[in-house]
Amino acid sequence: MSLPFTGLVTFAMVPRYDPAETPPPHAVILGIPTDEGTTQHPGARYGPRAIRDASTQFPYYKRGRGYYDPERNRSMLAAVELRDAGDVAIVPTLPEENARCIAEAVAGLRARGTFPICLGGDHSATAAILQAFADTPVHLIQIDAHMDFVDRLAGATGTHASPMRRAREMPWVRSLTQLGIRSIVSGAEDYAAARAMGNRIVTAGRLVAAPDTDWWADLAGDAYLTLDIDAFDPAIAPGTGFAEPGGLAFGDVARLVRSLARRLRLRGMDLVEVNPYFDSSRRTAVLAARTILEVLSAVFDPTD
């Protein structure tokens, strides 16, 4: 039996990724332990470690394989081969080199046909991850409290305030749907620029008021999901550097990702901005781990 206090810690205590494994696994965890793009509180570089440790609450092989979902009265992830590839080798103070290493690591996973699940780290990593999707036009789906659409912050173009702006400049990013937005710190010019580029912006209030809306009804093809943990309400996810009141519940996000996976082919995801120094209870990291399992179920389990 897999026990949370024994052995080396991988996500959900799954085996380590072996690039020579044949056939390749369905999905692979990849940590991106950097927070040099943060503009307020550092500490998200410890997010991947915190999420992995919290995920031992959900050991994949505790009783056979996978899990049982009582809400839907069915097995969950019973046939998925999941592995953990460890972390990208980050070198502090070298953001351009780190971005290259991130893109190469994700590209290597994609080349083998696996579904990459990237653990941040701050949100600036998403722009680097998306470089690995240059061969696959994708609809970008962002679940977040913030727009992250600043062009430059004090002259800097690569902070966690800008990844969606940088992503929208990539020709293979076909569209951007931004859900759960509620922060009051984004300026009117950010909203104007986002709308001018064709972004779909759904506030947290609109999302909660219309839970069954198909926000991607007019989209088709491949998609990439980026999920900032501050999309959740700080009552359930205090461990983040820029918490915003009025956020989403786990059920809100679960409904979103299930409807997303029914409509589009999800090709990868990241979950970012978990900062364990703001949550001694570790409930933020537990929520992050459970959310990742929910996304994997939406992608790999049979359609409801």
Fold of 11-300: Arginase; Chain A (3.40.800)
Q: Which two tokens stand for residue 37?
A: 């793009």
The string of pLDDT tens digits covering residues 41-84 is 999 999 999 999 999 999 999 888 999 999 889 999 999 999 99
- For residue 2, what pLDDT band results from cuts at 50, 70 and 90? low
The string of pLDDT tens digits covering residues 110-131 is 999 999 999 999 999 999 999 9
> 219 - beta bridge partners?
none
Q: How far is CA 130 from CA 108, 165, 224, 272, in A?
A: 13, 12, 9, 14
Phi and psi at residue 164, to the nearest 5°: -75, -30
Q: Which two tokens stand for residue 44?
A: 């998200």
Amino acid letter, 35: D
Phi and psi at residue 53, to the nearest 5°: -60, -45
Which residues make Cβ contacts (< 8 Å) with residue 211, sequence separation at least 6?
Answer: 252, 255
Which residues make Cβ contacts (< 8 Å) with residue 272, sequence separation at least 6?
Answer: 44, 47, 118, 119, 120, 121, 122, 123, 125, 126, 160, 226, 227, 228, 229
Q: Count of H helices and E strands in the chain?
A: 8, 10
What's the confidence (pLDDT) of residue 114?
Answer: 98
- Where is 256: in which H helix or E strand? helix 250-263
What's the confidence (pLDDT) of residue 143?
Answer: 98
> Domains of the chain: which residue ranges?
11-300
Q: Which two tokens stand for residue 287?
A: 């929520």
Mean pLDDT for the chain overall: 94
Beta 67-69 vs 173-181: how paired, if at all?
A: unpaired
Q: What b/e readout covers 23-48, taking b as 16+ CB neighbours within 10 angstroms?
A: ebbbbbbbbbbbbbbbbeeebbbbbb
- Residue 31, pLDDT above cutoff 60: yes
Q: Which two tokens stand for residue 112?
A: 């083998």
Task: Give CA 34 to chain center in angstroms.
Answer: 15
The string of pLDDT tens digits covering residues 142-190 is 999 999 988 877 777 778 878 899 999 999 999 999 999 999 988 888 8
Which residues make Cβ contacts (< 8 Å) with residue 88, sequence separation at least 6?
Answer: 30, 31, 32, 33, 98, 101, 102, 105
